[in-house]
Chains A and B, each alone.
Chain A
Amino acid sequence: MNSPVRVGNTTHGPERSRLSRMASDPKIRGWVAQAVVGTLIVLAGYYLVSQTIYNMEKRGLTAGFDFLSSTAGFSIGFHLIDYQPTDTFSRVFLVGVVNTLFVSVIAIIFATLFGFVMGIARLSHNWLIARLAATYVEVVRNTPLLLQIFVWYLGVFTLLPPPKQAFELVFGVFVLNNRGFYATAAVPGELFWITGIAIIAGLALTFMFRRSARAQQEATGDAPSYAWKALAVLVAAPAAVFVLTGAPLSWEVPTLKGFNYQGGWAVPPPFLALLIALTVYTSAFIAEIVRAGIQSVGKGQTEAALSLGLPRSRTLKLVVIPQAMRAIIPPLISQYLNIVKNSSLAVAIAYPDLVGLWMQTSLNQAGRAIEIVATTMLFYMVVSLSISGLLNIYNRRVQLQER
């Protein structure tokens, strides 16, 4: 722009004010426009908030967060952190947060595993496997999730036998009935922490073995096997420590007492129905994402790898999947976000997640609609932004390093 001959300056003359020159400067115009829009947004926000407060006052509605410290009074059917009816509403919020995260995290893990298997199966050369996977994806992907949750809950879990005729699996280690799934729990004794340390040390050693094996492979091209060493430090050493410290672990077996099985570790049917529905539904989408990712890797890559003499499994592991991940991660993030948000459908089948405990029960008992809706929205936003933040960091690492 700064050409030596500036025709513009001479035609408009020196009387052209600084103001008009500023008005035609795109940078300054940009700033002004942003300031105007920003002010309008702030004003609109102020209007809406003050109007809401005014309307609430006019209607005699009490506002504020003081209810958080008052006693909730109701019981919760499933909680991972301690909870009593005498606890406060803020505790209820925490219970809801933990329950939501619990089901979401497990569903994310299972959906990812299952989705990858299904996605790879769809590309299988075996006609039957490919067809079955395709049918699975199409059926699951094209029906509403809420409907699937009801099918699992009303069609499967409530139809299980009552406690007195429960299925006892693996000699009673696991119990399944229409009140839930029970598993024998391991109760660590006093000296169990020593075994714990042995396991952690084993993991650390295995990791080191792997690194040195890698280094050796890169230096010499020869990959040494460290399976025996790993087995020794991971299994044999902790087992020896465990026995030497006097096997400090007892088992709590679920047994029928009164109305139901007691003891052990238990999850209720709504949790199982929700977990399976979320896993199945999301895994179908993930399968498609995985398939698309694998197909986005050029055929030449596979052919080149095979012609170098890599076996098929290593071709997939070392050549295809690392490149496919670049196409898989971004859409995978949104599936994870979907799982967290979709877990709020729990409210339909009595799993006490955040929406059920907070937006339903607490909202009704405390009556603070605006405060409760706002905190719930804030929670989902924080979780979603953290998940996408974390995965974006990972994504940046697997993306092509262009130099």
Chain B
Amino acid sequence: MLDILKYFSLKEMKKSLIISLWFMILTFPIMVIKVNTIENTVIWRWGSLAGMGIGSFFLATLWRYLLDRKKMQSPLSSKKTLQKRVMEWSDANPRAKQGALIALGIFIVAFPFITSMYQTSIMTTALMYIVLGLGLNIVVGLGGLLHLGYAAFYAVGAYTYALLNYHFGISFWICLPLGAGLATIMGVLLAIPVLRLRGDYLAIVTLGFGEVIRIVLENWNEFSFGPSGVANIPRPGFFGMDMKLQAATIYIYFIMIAMVLFTIFVVRRLENSRTGRAWIAMREDEIASEAMGIDITKSKVTTFALGAFWAGMVGVIFAAKTTFINPASFTLWESVMILCVVVIGGMGSIFGVVIGALILILLPEYLRAFSEYRMLMFGAILVIMMVFRPGGIISNIRKIYKFEPKPSPADAGKEGVK
């Protein structure tokens, strides 16, 4: 077992000191000198240099300690992770599991009534990212195709509702499937040219596709009202009833809850279906799976189409929730954000994506106190997460078929599924 005190020995202190000196030199021009180009004066901020030195000294120590600890834990260690323990516990106590699920259900239903409207609204956003994450998870996590233009499909859904409503007054509930359908068609259209590309070429083409959609929305004024966007989009109706803002917020929250449950249900079914297994096989090895008779073309087109489907649907809800959309909501950062939800949560794992979305959306909201440093910390967290837990918070547990050591005659040949 490593002792953190060891890292304060003379030798280690010297190492940390050298690192902190290096950082002090490195950050000198940007941290210390500030030029006022209007009055032509220079401000020297020596205090931040001292802060940098002390801060990097301790961080360097901590960093080395954590890295060494990570190295000592071999990947095949038999140590039970928290996640495994929870799973075993729930398998062992089905009734307690049921109780926990019921408690969770009550909490979810009661949430908008026990918290403020602001909290409900944030939670709705988080729920939207859960669905977006699960949708992108189909492409990235199951299909293994790196997609950096996912926000484009999101935009297609949002604009479908906004424009159809503006021009023809079509209601939310009709637009929901329409938006999803249009996004799916866009997904197929994108999938056809990129069928031959792999890896990073695919990433850059999808990125380009996303940007093209955004730029077209920004510049085609007659169609999309340009950068000023579409305003006054109606909130979803409830059998023609007029709702106050608070009621509408709660209503959208419940729509999203239903959406999340529906998505989880469908994705779980998809994962274990013939199509889903074909995706996973394609992710593992394209050539081998093709040799086993999987139609790669069909698999790729279906991943893109089904991934886009969810984005289109959430897009419609997004437009209804914010009542105002413009192209600035669908930048590359949006796509990156959704990708981060998937990767941080744990690629390919439904539960992971849920946790990832909750953390990535709720954490920055509750870090408002440091709002200036929010993005800085967000960037740092991404790096730290990837360095110390590259598999995400909840990595996907593979199904393992285990033979019982001593099969009794009654269930001979039967395999325990875990």
Do chains A and B stick together as partners?
Answer: no
Instruction: Using CB atoms and an 8 Å cutoff, list the residues of chain B in contact with chain A.
Output: none
Instruction: Using CB atoms and an 8 Å cutoff, list the residues of chain A in contact with chain B.
Output: none
